[in-house]
Amino acid sequence: MARTSSIFLAAALLLALVFNVHAWGVEGHGAVAAIAQAYLTPKAKAAVDQIIGQSGTFKAYLDVASWPDNIRNQRKETSDWHYIDAEDDPAPPARKCGPVRFPQDCGADESCIITAVAGAVKALVPGQAPVKVARDGINNQAEALAFLTHFAGDIAQPLHTTGYKVGANNVLVNFEGKSVKLHAAWDGTLIRKMLSTQYAGSQDKWVADLIARAAKTDVRQIPGLKCAATVNPLDVDGTEACAMEWASDSNTFVCSTVFPADFKEGMEISGDYYQNSIEPINNQIVKGGLRLAAVLNKVLGGADPASTTTTSAATSTATTSSTAVATTTSAGSTATTTAAPTTTATATGAPQPAPGKCTTLATVKIVTTATVVVTTTIGGY
């Protein structure tokens, strides 16, 4: 049966994004949340702000990004919610890669990131919390928002989708001569080297680059984005299937990037390994942010939860030094750049397509030193 959806991702990025960072680690989780925030529709943003304001726990949306890590010791039952353990053996010489299976890889009580994402999405709907997830529960909308924001980042980190040596926590490598767990390296060490060498230690500049990268991304090529934008939050099975698309995508990088053919435990990873890993890390963080924005726009800014169609519109205004315009359609993509001293950014809803066709139209302008407009059409599905 054909389904129709309209995604509208629109935002103005403030020139300075300021938030506390520590460590996919907090750098990565903060970036995922900032990307999502930049793409929220006004209605979804207003709903997020209301949830935060009424929470009594958080002062701003970006505060939620690492909260689930901070409460793991107090709520130990939530520890399993951060990953799914594919029964793979990716390191040489075995090179057994994936796949992720659900519910087999989710544990005896189905307590894993797949069920946790579905629980958090459902608990975001007013009146649905608390939602039981295995041995614990998501108690209110603020917790749901925090868990979903965090898990959108976790599930984009490849080592949260493999059970190999406890998600590579038991794999030691060297980074600039010092021993480090491979999982910790992917959580933060590699990102911090990039921040230091490419952005003078500035998280804000890095996040601005990621948001600009997101605006240039062909959204048709992001696994799990269409299902995120059309998710019915009350359909737990459907949300779990969508989360599995996210996890399966991440798991492909376990063999291709995390454990390349020449990988050896104890190897130095600050050279070629770092150079080959940082681009996939950036891309995974962008995917996590865009998926998160799509879910939040659908659940908090879109249609009735039982509907498969969402339509919204947004308008934002900003002044920039230049304008970049990229247009992508089912036939391909083109890009042009023209100068414009002042730009008004507008995203408007498109008319509903004819029955039997699925069309996604998005007009997005992201404000940094340039304004980017992206129009995307996704074919029928």
Given a cut of 60, whether residue 361 has pLDDT beyond it is no
Percent of the chain scoring above 70 in pLDDT = 73
* Predicted local confidence at residue 24, as pLDDT: 59
* Predicted local confidence at residue 295, as pLDDT: 98
Residue 284 in domain: yes
Residue 369 in domain: no
User: Could you report the per-residue pLDDT of 332-342, keeping only the tens digit for each?
Assistant: 332 322 222 22
Residues 6+ apart with CB under 8 A from 140: 55, 123, 129, 130
Position 32 confidence tier, pLDDT thresholds 50, 70, 90: very high
* Predicted local confidence at residue 107, as pLDDT: 82
Given a cut of 50, whether residue 18 has pLDDT beyond it is no
Residue 269 in domain: yes
How high does pLDDT run on average in the chain? Answer: 78
User: Could you report the per-residue pLDDT of 159-215, keeping only the tens digit for each?
Assistant: 999 999 999 999 999 999 999 999 999 999 999 999 999 999 999 999 999 999 999
The CATH number that applies at residue 181 is: 1.10.575.10
* Predicted local confidence at residue 159, as pLDDT: 97
Answer with the residue of higher pLDDT: 248 or 359.
Answer: 248
Mean pLDDT confidence for 314-335: 28
Residue 6 in domain: no
- Torsion sign across C-alpha atoms 105, 110, 113, 118: positive
User: Could you report the per-residue pLDDT of 120-141, keeping only the tens digit for each?
Assistant: 999 999 999 999 999 899 999 9
SS (H, E, C) the chain: CCCCCCCCCCCCCCCCCCCCCCCCCHHHHHHHHHHHHHCCCHHHHHHHHHHHHHHCCCCCHHHHCCHHHHCCCCCHHHHHHHCCCCCCECCCCCCECCCCCCCHHHCCCCCCHHHHHHHHHHHCCCCCCCEEECCEEECCHHHHHHHHHHHHHHCCCHHHCCCCHHHHCCCEEEECCEEEEHHHHHHHHHHHHHHHHHCCCCHHHHHHHHHHHHHCCCHHHCCCHHHHHCCCCCCHHHHHHHHHHHHHHHHHHHHHHHCCCCCCCCCECCCHHHHHHHHHHHHHHHHHHHHHHHHHHHHHHCCCCCCCCCCCCEEEEECCCEEEEEEEECCEEEEEEECCCCEEEEECCCCCCCCCCCCCCCEEEEECCEEEEEEECCCCC
Answer with the residue of higher pLDDT: 380 or 252.
Answer: 252
Burial 219-234 (b: 16+ CB within 10 A, else e): bbebbbbbbbbbbbbe
User: Could you report the per-residue pLDDT of 290-317, keeping only the tens digit for each?
Assistant: 999 999 999 999 744 443 333 333 323 2
Given a cut of 60, whether residue 330 has pLDDT beyond it is no
Number of structural domains (the chain) is 1
Position 26 confidence tier, pLDDT thresholds 50, 70, 90: confident
* Predicted local confidence at residue 70, as pLDDT: 95
Global pTM value = 0.77
Mean pLDDT confidence for 30-45: 97
Residue 265 in domain: yes
Residue 150 in domain: yes
Beta-ladder partners of 334? 327
Percent of the chain scoring above 90 in pLDDT = 71
- Torsion sign across C-alpha atoms 289, 295, 299, 302: positive
Given a cut of 90, whether residue 76 has pLDDT beyond it is yes
Residue 109 in domain: yes
| Contact in structure between 150 and 140 (CB atoms under 8 Å) | no
For residue 336, give Cα distances in angstroms to 78, 234, 360, 365: 47, 42, 22, 15
Q: Phi/psi of residue 110, each to 5°?
A: 55, 45
Q: Tokens standing for 227? A: 């299902």
Residue 366 in domain: no
| Contact in structure between 301 and 41 (CB atoms under 8 Å) | yes
Say how far apart CA 343 and CA 340 lie, in whole Å. Answer: 7
* Predicted local confidence at residue 25, as pLDDT: 74
* Predicted local confidence at residue 302, as pLDDT: 79
User: Could you report the per-residue pLDDT of 236-250, keeping only the tens digit for each?
Assistant: 999 999 999 999 999
| Contact in structure between 50 and 14 (CB atoms under 8 Å) | no
**CA quadruple 251, 252, 253, 255: dihedral, nearest 10:** 100
Residues 6+ apart with CB under 8 A from 330: 220, 377, 378, 379
Q: Residue 172: give the domain boundaries.
A: 26-308
What length does the chain have? 381
User: Could you report the per-residue pLDDT of 84-112, keeping only the tens digit for each?
Assistant: 999 999 999 999 999 999 999 998 789 99
